[in-house]
Every structure is written in structure tokens, then in C-alpha cells.
Amino acid sequence: MIRKILGLGLSIMIFSACSGQLNWITPEPEGEPVARHENCFIECNGKFYLLGGRGIKPVNIYDPVSDTWTDGANPPVELHHFQAVSYKNKIWMVEVMTGKYPDEVPVPNIYIYDPATDSWETGDEVPEDRRRGSSGVVIYRDKFYIVCGIADGHNGDHKTWVDTYDPATGEWKIMPDAPNTRDHFHAVVISDKLYAAGGRNTSKNTNQVFDLVIPEVDVFDLKKQTWKTLPESSNLPTLRAGTSALNFKGKLLVIGGESMAHNEAHKEVEAMDPKTGKWEAMTSLNRGRHGTQAVVYKGKIYTASGSGNRGGGPELKTIEIASSE
């Protein structure tokens, strides 16, 4: 499905009269993480973990109480292009890529990091015919939901695939396909519904790596197991991929990203109210970034690392924290 970037004028007009306040700060912790992008950043038991990214990078651990970074173990293989989840005191990486641009390949297994022992585990094998990367991954009622993604590195082969994985039994189950293909995005669960917003159809094969951004917001009813695409009026206002996304106080937030709109990574933070389908511009990041993850913890939003420009660099070391207080 071919997409084209739309101009930003419409977004500017929509948002000229409204702006949600987030107080972003950029602390200067003791120590610093290894610069990286296409990584995860996730909370587990009160601490925050940077894992993966291009190359073999050690785990970096941020303690929000002491405002310090420390180092953990290296992963057993290069892991990048994934949305990690925290589940039962461990960090899980499902549908992950490895290798160099543009011919990255999906890794065959799930990987699990145990913060308690600073150790890595090789988990269950992903079915060979369902492997991809750059998918949205969430947990709902003790099952992992894996949404869309891309199978052939940055070349193409975009998927509408949706699967569930049961970590208790190892069962992998195919679910109804999503309405739109997309990769380089994060999925979010809000009130028994899964939201897929942002992303693109990465296509090095047609020299459209960053071009084919996805405007539509797709919603999967986790109880009814049915998909719908929201009306055009609910399209993501600033089209971009490589975004972070999360549930913040019952709203869908899409953070940062990259596109052909400009070389610098996006700073925009936009929030959609699921009850109305309307988007609101929130206070922007201090530094645009893409290819990382964001997390909510005790009413605050945390994000770190990623790339500061479209593509692979500069890789960042900074952390940003926001509250709405």
C-alpha cells in the first residue's frame, strides 16, 4: 500500500489553538549510557533499562531515585528494531531484527533479560513463517500481542500480521490481520483496545525508506477480536515513523519519530483521546529523537537515547522526563 507524506500545514492549523502541557526536563545523571538507537527503554521494578540497538551494546540501567546510570551484561547477539515489554519481573523481546542496514533479518527466538541476575535467556522459537521485526508488541491478559512489522530488513515485505504468544505454554496463535501494513511504530493498549498509530512501509527496494508514512489509526478490540480503522478526522496529525507510543492518563501519546519532513528527528508529542478521536498537541521534547522507547512510571513519562536525526545518527545519550503537574 503506497503512502505519501502530507504537508504539515494542516497539523499547524489544527493545533494553533491548543497545546497540552508537559514539563519536560533533561537531567544530568551521574554516569551515562552507551549511545544507541533502534533500542528499547523500559521500566522493570522501579528501574529503567536501555537494551539492544545496532551493534552489541551493554544493558544500561537508570535509577530514578539516585539519578544514576550503571552498566549491565551484553546481549548474546545483536538485537534491534523491537518494542520490548516488562512481564513478571523480566524484560521480553519478541520479533527482533539483527544485522546491518538494509538487509536486517529477524532473529529466530524470543530473548529475555532478567534484571535480578543481570543475565540473558534465549526463549521460545518464533514460528519460521511468522518472523519479522519492527512490530508493535503489547501484553493483554498475560498474552503477548504482536502487530504488523517488516520481514525483509528495510527492503520491504510489510505485514498486516497479528499474533499472540502465551509465555506460560509457548503457544503461538494467528489472529485477524490488521487493516494496514506498518513498521517502525509502537502499539498501545487502552481500555481493552489495542491502538496502532504512526509508522511507515519502509521500502529501500523503491528508494522510499522514509517516505511511505501511515496516517490511519487502527484499533483492535481485544474482547471482540475485531479491527477497525478510525475516521480520517482521527488520522495522526504529524506523519512520522520510528515513534514511541504509550498510554498516558487514558490517552494515546505518540512521541518523536522521523520522516522526510526534515532532517532532524521529530520533537512532536501528540495525544489522542480515544473517547472523541481528537488529537491535541502536547509540549514537544527538548530534543527530537526516534528509534527508542518511552514509558510511564508513577505519573511521569521517561524516554532516553535514540537517534537525533533522520536515519542512524547522531545516537543520543540523554534522558528526558515529563510530568503534567
What is the rounded CA–CA span in Å between residue 167 and residue 85?
Answer: 12
Residues 237-253, mean pLDDT to the nearest whole number: 98
What does the pLDDT look like over 270-325, one tens digit per residue?
999 999 999 999 999 999 999 999 999 999 999 999 999 999 989 999 999 998 86
Total domain count, the chain: 1
Residue 191 makes CB contacts below 8 A (sequence gap 6+) with: 250, 274
- Give the residue numbers spanning the domain of 88: 9-323
* Residue 36 belongs to some domain of the structure: yes
Task: Give the single-character DSSP code of 15.
Answer: H
Global confidence as pTM: 0.93
* Residue 206 belongs to some domain of the structure: yes
- Output the DSSP codes for 112-124: EEETTTTEEEEEE
Strand, coil or helix: 176: coil
What is the rounded CA–CA span in Å between residue 305 and residue 289?
Answer: 8
* Residue 260 belongs to some domain of the structure: yes
What does the pLDDT look like over 19-71, one tens digit per residue?
589 999 999 999 999 999 999 999 999 999 999 999 999 999 999 999 999 99
Residues 199-227, mean pLDDT to the nearest whole number: 98
* Residue 104 belongs to some domain of the structure: yes
* Residue 4 belongs to some domain of the structure: no
* Inter-residue contact 312 to 278 (CB < 8 Å): no
Residue that the C-alpha cell 491478559 belongs to: 141
Bridge partner residues of 255 (DSSP)? 244, 269
* Residue 65 belongs to some domain of the structure: yes
What is the rounded CA–CA span in Å between residue 21 and residue 50?
Answer: 27
* Residue 2 belongs to some domain of the structure: no
CATH classification of the domain holding 233: 2.120.10.80
* Residue 199 belongs to some domain of the structure: yes
What does the pLDDT look like over 139-191, one tens digit per residue?
999 999 999 999 999 999 999 999 999 999 999 999 999 999 999 999 999 99
